[in-house]
Amino acid sequence: MRNARFRVAHLCGATLLGLSLLSPACGDKDGDGSTTGDGGAGDGGTGGDCFELADGSCVEETFHNPPELDADDEGVFRLTLAPTEVEIDGQRHCVRAYNGLFPGPTLVTPAREGSAVRQVRVDLKNDLLGHDLRSLSGGACTCTDAHGMACTPSGHDACDEGHDGHDDCTCVDEDGETCEHMFDFNVTNLHAHGSHVRPDYARGGGCVAEDGLSCRECGEDACDGDTTDDTCFLGDDVLTQVQPGAGARYRWDLDEDGTHHDGLNWYHPHIHGTTAIQTASGAAGAWIIRGPLDEVEGVAQARERVIVFHTPSVAENGFEPLADGEECTEDTLTFNDFDVLASTISPQLNMINGLRRPRMVTPPGQVERWRILNAGYLDEVWMGLFRGTDADCSGWSVTPGDVMPLTQIARDGLTLPRSYTDDYWFMSSGYRVEGLFGGEGVLQHGDTWCLVAARFLQSEGESSPTGEPISPGEAPTVEEIQEMLELGDLVAVLNVTEDAGVATETSLPTDEALAAAAPSTVVEGISAEDRCAAAAAVEDPADIDQVAVLQVGFFTADEPDPCDCANYNVNCKNFEETDRSVYPYDRDLPLDEVEHWRVAASVDGHPFHIHINPYLVCPQDNVFDPIPFPHWRDTYLVNLDRKVDLVTQNKSYTGSYVFHCHKLTHEDHGMMQVVRTCDPAVDPTCGDYGWRQCAAEDLDCAQALAATDCAIGGDTTEELLTCLAAIGGPLGVCGANSCGSDEDCGPGTSCRDWVCQPG
């Protein structure tokens, strides 16, 4: 099954007959040249313009950018999250989505003009009206208090006390078992992914609560119960909940410190425990910030396509569609089971802009500008553009000459300091890849190019060379990636035809022009290259400003984790299980400080995403992110045997926010930390929390730190395990003789360095 033609022809047999024999005559505006179902370019409507291809057939362009959302008369974007019926690959589903769209509409913020200050206003309405309590390990939960009355338990967020929940509420699932890891799937909020704005409240007040839309306190702590000062818009505040039936007013002040970047950002809900289920429902949309890159010659007149890639789990083992005649209401949501999302045996469907295999049409010589967002909730993907064997991409060739390289010009909403061209590209959840291809002589009349995706979870045995439907423990080789793409899944078709008119742009931009539009990689006078060299030279973990190790547990009952790390953790600690009365923040980040982060993972891959401030990635020689020069990012995959040095600056804005794994099911399980940017000059508590700091006698914290030092110190799995075994020995911090205080030790021994020692 190595032959792509054969494999795809087998999948798409009906389609092969489709276009070549049954296409309507050109000019038949009512004809439907596209096919439906699971093969070839499809999902077309009828009645659109018909384009004649070189083979004489006629096709319709079914690809469209997601609709742009118009602001209202006051310049406010209105987003409403509500049960929404959508058609996914021919099936009716009922999902939580914005404004009836799947995915959500695109927000566009114009370029800054002079010294004008752009304040992006969004009113979020939650039209899910009832609570929907579900556990991450099972289904719906029913909750009653001591009197047998229905109740709502306290949540898990920073504002537990501020809500109407109570603690004597007991919840059981459909089997009568106590609900663990329970969340309200109808609670929401809004995250401006990629924004550099205040993380809590927009400065200056001016927010008036009305129409069920709330404001928040003009201060960093929205949870103190004082509602007299609730006159500020929410910033990029992901710690405030929007309850069922409620709403909130956001304002993202892009120009407060004058350093915001332009590019492709996005928005999605961000409540711990419900982020994955809501985002996977399609509650996500692109947010384009215009700026200097849009003016660069070679970019400005290129054909701009906004491509929101998402992966609903509706295939075998995935979510069941609505029954015939069943209406979509919040009681019939079809995406409502965390287990289905998190399961690695649930294949997911590759879709862009809500469509399966749409068709694009472009004129010869055109420069195409593709702005791709991976809005998927879990899986990684490789993508590439390959020459089709026919106008429907019934098959494609991956041999050199049949591969269309993509010239990347921006990543994660930040223009690259120079372009980077490669035959295929990798995206984790949350990534944005912006690239160009085409031009005079490159796209020719009669060409067909196939956008192909290869995912590990796509379909067992098809895209995974090992047949394993899980993320690999080792990075694949280049040959394995090519094989995956050869056997990959068709995502979209691009036909080149003279009938599409005249190219609007025929030349790619120069690197000089791109560099002039890019944010500087010189931070506080020191080049990124010099900062990365300095970071790489640091060996002792204690000398690293910030260490973050993202992990899922990988020990078994027979071989338990000697340090007792939580499953789904950062530095061995779980977001929910951390005692917030002792550690309100996992770490303090001093205001405006330039910091060196070293981020790593144990088994599995984890895309590291931090809010508010992007980071410079020091280049790595690997198949995932091979860009060979430092560049700005906000989401970056780390996995086994792969540590990355990052340089960031805690710029301009104080307040608390989070970093986490952008595999959203991992985040919901607690692979997340809350950080605080604070100013030591005015806040004497700033610096009380840090990745090496443990409260007195907190043995769990000491063990977590010991495990983290092992994880970040070694270069291989073997070194990690050897190190853990040593500290798990009888006299190690994590061993049988470990202690937090003298009381933990037997007679004649006392607790020193977390170990019971004689004397």
Q: What is the DSSP letter of 577?
A: T
- In the complex, minimum distance from the CB of residue 558 to Cu ion, in angstroms, rounded to a whole number: 25
* Residue matched to tokens 């330039």: 594
- In the complex, minimum distance from the CB of residue 274 to Cu ion, in angstroms, rounded to a whole number: 17
Query: Is 672 or 745 the residue whose CB approaches Cu ion more closely?
Result: 672
Query: Is 237 or 379 the residue whose CB approaches Cu ion more closely?
Result: 379
Query: Is 653 or 659 the residue whose CB approaches Cu ion more closely?
Result: 659
SS3 assignment, position 701:
helix
Query: Packing angle between helix 717-727 and helix 699-713, nearest 10 degrees?
Result: 150
- In the complex, minimum distance from the CB of residue 149 to Cu ion, in angstroms, rounded to a whole number: 39
Helical (H) or strand (E) element with 517 = helix 511-517
Query: Is 302 or 661 the residue whose CB approaches Cu ion more closely?
Result: 661
Query: Is 62 or 471 the residue whose CB approaches Cu ion more closely?
Result: 471
CA distance 304 to 172: 50
The answer to whether 432 and 264 have CB atoms below 8 angstroms apart is yes
- In the complex, minimum distance from the CB of residue 317 to Cu ion, in angstroms, rounded to a whole number: 21
The answer to whether 552 and 567 have CB atoms below 8 angstroms apart is yes
Alpha helices in 240-337, H assignment, sequence order: 275-280
Binding site for Cu ion (CB under 5 A): 606, 661, 663, 666
Strand segments, DSSP code E, in 311-412 are 351-352, 359-362, 367-374, 381-388, 396-397, 406-411
- In the complex, minimum distance from the CB of residue 575 to Cu ion, in angstroms, rounded to a whole number: 12
- In the complex, minimum distance from the CB of residue 717 to Cu ion, in angstroms, rounded to a whole number: 17
Q: What is the DSSP letter of 663?
A: S
For residue 160, count other CB atoms closer than 10 A to its CB.
Answer: 14
- In the complex, minimum distance from the CB of residue 560 to Cu ion, in angstroms, rounded to a whole number: 22
* DSSP string for residues in 145-193: -TTS-B--B--SSTTGGGSS-BTT-EEE-TTSPBPPSEEETT-B--EEE
Query: Is 663 or 676 the residue whose CB approaches Cu ion more closely?
Result: 663
Burial of 161 (0-12, 13-18, 19+ CB in 10 A): exposed
Query: Is 359 or 663 the residue whose CB approaches Cu ion more closely?
Result: 663
Query: Is 112 or 666 the residue whose CB approaches Cu ion more closely?
Result: 666
For residue 107, count other CB atoms closer than 10 A to its CB.
Answer: 22
- In the complex, minimum distance from the CB of residue 347 to Cu ion, in angstroms, rounded to a whole number: 19
* DSSP string for residues in 713-752: H-SSHHHHHHHHHHHTSTTSTTSTTB-SSGGGS-TTEEEE
CA dihedral for 646, 647, 652, 656, sign (positive or negative)? positive
The answer to whether 376 and 2 have CB atoms below 8 angstroms apart is no
Query: Is 84 or 569 the residue whose CB approaches Cu ion more closely?
Result: 569
- In the complex, minimum distance from the CB of residue 253 to Cu ion, in angstroms, rounded to a whole number: 31
**Helix (H) and strand (E) counts for the chain?**
10, 40
SS3 assignment, position 30:
coil
Q: What is the DSSP letter of 178?
A: B
Return the closest-CA partner of residue 529 out of 626, 597, 631, 599.
631
- In the complex, minimum distance from the CB of residue 605 to Cu ion, in angstroms, rounded to a whole number: 7
Query: Is 449 or 608 the residue whose CB approaches Cu ion more closely?
Result: 608
